[in-house]
Amino acid sequence: MLSKVEGSLVGQAALIASLELRRPPPAVISMVGVGARRTVTEDGRTVERYPVSYQPEDTLAGHLRFALRYEPIDLGILSEAFGYRAAAEQIEAWVRSEPTGAYARRAWFLFEWLTGKQLDLPDAGPVGYVDALDAKLHIIAKGSPSRRHKVTNNILGSPGFAPLVRRTQRLVAFMKEDLAAEARNLVAGCEPEVLARAVNYLYTKETKSSFAIERETATGKKAERFVAALRSAKSFEPTDPQSLIDLQNIIVDARYAAKDLRDFQNFVGSTVGGYREEVHFICPRPEDVRSLVADWAAMTERLKEATDPVVAAALTAFGFVFIHPFEDGNGRIHRFLIHQVLAREGFTPPNILFPVSAAIVRDLREYDTVLETFSGPIMPHIDWHWTPAREITVDNDTAHLYRYFDATPLAEFLYAKVAATIRKDLKEELEFVAVYDAAKSAVDEIIDMPDRKASLLVRLCLQNSGRLSKAKREMFSEIEDHEIEAIEAAIQEIIAGHTVLPPEEDFTP
């Protein structure tokens, strides 16, 4: 894309280039050149082109000022740039020359927040507070004041784990739809008994779908364990590493239960021709896992009641799965965490579960694509090799790649799936149970038959637009034709005007 836009890099892209940082490029690349201001978007990346009058001083401080003024801030780029010795000197000089300047104080705050080091500067004097991140460009958290800098910390995360979420038109549109209220209204119109039985099925559906995403079948004890975990999601505490281990032990086969966070290198890949492994994603080094999990947990604590619930769920769930702290069960815990955050934040109606995995499993290609928005950009910056034992070894420091990343596509993806599961899965399951009850009552009025057989007859009719197919007629040979006709007529009248999905074969309301 850059070849199509003439000019010189400025801002965060310039910091990567000039300091040779091993990081993916920022989501928004800024360039200065001859000509008018314009925006070019291609392949999911945006280039903002500015006239030459915008050219900043070609120093770390100069490009940082430009970034703070015009760009969504990638804290990973700043964290790496602040590791250079000249960074502290330049920021100190900048603040001394502009002690009340908003951009200087923001840079000062971010340096100390990210590095944990205090610059040789006195506390800010009597000046108004300024936000660390520009709310027009970022999804932000509830602010907390830093009196030293007179900066309000509105960052989504902790110093060691803080993904970026840009304020896109798509996210803003989702937020305005108030999906939580939409779900509450759906539930409010249901009879308590109907709702309780529908919820039971929603738990089963989510369990099956979550396993199906990994091309596994949830049966027997595996399914029971996962349903039990989902039912306790709201009370789960992700900030305790032992809780994560206990959860992993509950939802995986006992033979693969972890005793601790992983102490070995793992990766995600597939076997191709000649039994070769094709590597899609390399997980953090084992020596980095414990600190990453601790900083991820600090982020989850920071996000409590502090930002949009779906954004919080996306950062929590995807942040966890990218760390991949276990050998098995990471994907299921990832999806469990979506429910945990949505329930904790009061986004999900009480005692209800959104089968988000059902929406995901309908388009696994899209799911893979959104995961690749993280894995694709970081893979070129990971140096690794196969050992003689056909294991992977990572040769460079990579922890920073997992601590700071652009989570905007992940938040947009999850919002779309939450919307789909409310408007399709939740709505249709509630409607189906109500229709099933009415159809079952109609059958009971026409003929007194064993409950199990009546239930089967209703299910078969609902699967076939209210009619019993000829192929299934012999299963009910004891019932007269006129009785079948009466049952079909009653069920057709009940389902008129409803969108009733065929129930799964093992569905028992």
Dihedral sign, CA of 416, 422, 423, 426?
A: positive
Residue 295 assigned as binding residue: no
Q: Report CA-CA distances (Å) from 124 to 96, 101, 114, 129.
A: 10, 10, 19, 10
505 phi and psi angles, rounded to 5 deg: -60, -30
Other C-beta atoms closer than 10 Å to the C-beta of 154 total: 19
447 a known binding residue? no
Check whether 331 is labelled as a binding-site residue. yes
Contact 377, 267 (CB under 8 A): no
Q: Is 332 annotated as a binding residue?
A: yes
The sign one gets for the Cα dihedral 346, 218, 360, 261 is positive
Residue 145 near residue 153, CB atoms below 8 Å = yes
CA distance 261 to 243: 11
The number of helices, as runs of H, and strands, as runs of E, in the chain is: 21, 11
Helix axes 427-446, 481-495, angle to 10 degrees: 150
Which among 63, 149, 324, 400 is annotated as catalytic? 324
Instruction: In whole angstroms, give the CA distance from residue 33 to residue 269.
Output: 42
The structure tokens listed for 222 are: 């595996």
69 is in an annotated binding site: no
User: Over 110-161, what HEC string results?
Assistant: HHHHHHCCCCCCCCCCCCCCEECCCCCCECCCCCEEECCCCEEECCCCECCE
Q: What is the CA radius of gyration of the chain?
A: 27
Q: How far apart are CA 321 and CA 354, in angstroms?
A: 20
Q: Is 138 a known active-site residue? A: no
Q: Answer yes or no: is 328 a known binding residue.
A: yes
Looking at the annotation, which residues are catalytic? 324
Q: Which residues fall in the annotated binding site for ATP?
A: 328-335
Annotated binding site: 328-335
